[in-house]
Amino acid sequence: MAVNKHFLFFVSAFLIFVLDQAVKWFVSAYSINVSFSFVKIHFVKNMGVGFGVLNQSNIPFLRWILVGIISVIIIGILYYYSRSSERLFSVFALALVLGGAIGNLSDRVLYGFVIDFIDVGFWPSFNIADSSITIGIILLIIYSWITPTLSSINKNKSRTSSRKKRNI
């Protein structure tokens, strides 16, 4: 049974969003503060952008500027998705980015900041949405490298098969 492109895209994005929001709620509601050998899980308010950039800035209306930028990015993702191929790899990668972007957008709208909770010490705190966005972008980069190779392989196969048909 073939997987429906739209089902994969919207369900994956929704699941990322729900997982991100559920864990953020749990960490903030129960004041989780747990340390493991290499990671600490605790509530962090991120007033800035990715990886805490502009976290201490006093830019007026930064919250709403970021909400506007993220909204435009989400619209861009949806537009790109509507034009994308049927390849499930790229559809899933876009869903990861969309789910993460909506997760962080909802934090900005509801609280004025993004809830981060994963702290590995040497890197700024982050959350599931940030991880999802990062993994999705990496997968899209890989897809963009692989696609031209696949296209050239398919073109060569079709040329070879058409030559064989002519020779028959």
What integer pLDDT is reported at residue 60 of this predicted model?
73
Is it the case that residue 161 has pLDDT exceeding 70?
Answer: no
Give residue 102's identity as a one-letter amino acid code. I
What integer pLDDT is reported at residue 146 of this predicted model?
85
pLDDT digits (tens, 9 = 90+) for 52-76: 666 667 777 888 999 999 999 999 9
Give the chain's mean pLDDT. Answer: 87
For residues 90-96, give the mean pLDDT. Answer: 95
pLDDT category, 154, cuts 50, 70, 90? low
Residue 77: partners with Cβ closer than 8 Å, 6 or more residues away: 94, 97, 98, 101
User: Residue 20: exposed, middle, or buried by beta-carbon count in 10 A (0-12, 13-18, 19+)?
Assistant: buried
For residues 100-118, give the mean pLDDT. Answer: 95
What integer pLDDT is reported at residue 48 of this predicted model?
80
- What values do phi and psi take at 3, rounded to 5? -85, 130
147-153 — which CB contacts under 8 Å span 24+ positions? 147/87
Tell me which of 115 and 50 has the higher pLDDT: 115
Active-site residue set: 116, 130
